[in-house]
Amino acid sequence: MDVLTIFISILVFGLIILVHEFGHFIVAKKSGIMVEEFAMGMGPKLISKKIGETVYSIRAFPIGGFCNMLGADTATDDSRSFTNKPVRTRIAVIVAGPVMNLLLAYIIIVWSVASGGYLSTTVNRVLPNSAAEEIGLQAGDKIISLDGQRIHLKQEIDMIVQQTKGSPLQIVIERDGSRITKLVTPRQEGDRWLIGFEPKIGENNVFNVLSQAFWQVIFIIKQVIIGLIQLVTLKAKGQVAGPLGVMDIIGEAYQEGMKASFYVAIQYLLSITALISANLGVMNLLPFPALDGGRLIFLFLEGLRGKPVDVEKEGLIHFIGFAVLMTLMVVVLFNDISRIFIH
């Protein structure tokens, strides 16, 4: 892992964290909550400047950031404290971080689709001696659903076909305004399963670009959720990548892109940034202490009970959760080091 990879990774992580914390920050400010510090990084301060009532700082270790709001973890009578705002306001502040990460992913994907195009779910050409030819698929047919799942993206078709591994699938197509249902059995070519058709390049109008980007973000969210379920049920394949593992992926993406041009390398990096940002947005909503989702659980409880959980006790729970997360981070980091530098 060279210096350039580390530098690029810090930029990517920095952008994602900045956007996340800015979500918390701007909604807190607009809601009249006092933000004591807005920091990029963790550990000792390197640079700091107080503007108005808020200290803006860059800290030594580029592994996170925070938006420190008055009264977030300690009790106070100040009317501008986080805990003294209505539950709905506090929920909005907490949710704003993950939402901004998903918005960043969406904006990047909009640019990617608009500049690079996309593959539609409409058939351009049926491949000879394929499963598609066998069921009479024709050029111009639009795939509406596969295996009972509504289809919006070419990626969804590929994923379903690979997951079912040659099992017969119900396919619904739209042809000349009518819907036709057929049964297709994908065929194996090498290590892939295929229906056997070439998709049309999508029409790049504003509606299609915005729609494609939206469904791509939804697709990423679904993949993250599926991955988490597999992880919890011990069915996950492969290793979980930590910060070093992700940095390695970023470096590989940049180097692969540079084989074509600097512009392609930037496209690859932005695609990785969108993927990481969407992942962070979803992961932060997990109902675990110290994560935004953990804080939301306490706010929902407060809304149901009509009174808050003791701030000091909640703060302690989040501290314990943070310690557990840091322990897991060390374990994953050790696995990354072992995989990248030893093997």
The residues assigned a catalytic role are: 21
Output the furthest CA–CA distance in the chain (Å, rounded): 75
CB-based contact 96:27 (threshold 8 Å): yes
d(CA 56, CA 97): 18
CB-based contact 21:97 (threshold 8 Å): yes
Q: What are phi and psi of 167, to 5 degrees?
A: -70, 145
Residue 30's CB is within 10 A of a number of other CB atoms, namely 12
Cα 341 → chain centroid: 27
Cα 253 → chain centroid: 17
d(CA 287, CA 297): 6
Specify which residues 178 forms β-bridges with. 175
Dihedral in degrees, nearest 10, Cα atoms 56, 59, 62, 68:
-50
Reference 22, options 67, 55, 63, 53; nearest CA is 67
d(CA 31, CA 80): 9
Element (H, E) at 38: strand 35-51
> Which token pair is 70?
């008055």
Q: What are phi and psi of 150, to 5 degrees?
A: -65, 135
Helices 87-116, 262-283: axis angle to 10 degrees equals 150
Reference 71, options 58, 97, 90, 52; nearest CA is 90
Distances (CA, A) of 291 to 12, 92, 327: 21, 15, 15
Residue 338's CB is within 10 A of a number of other CB atoms, namely 11
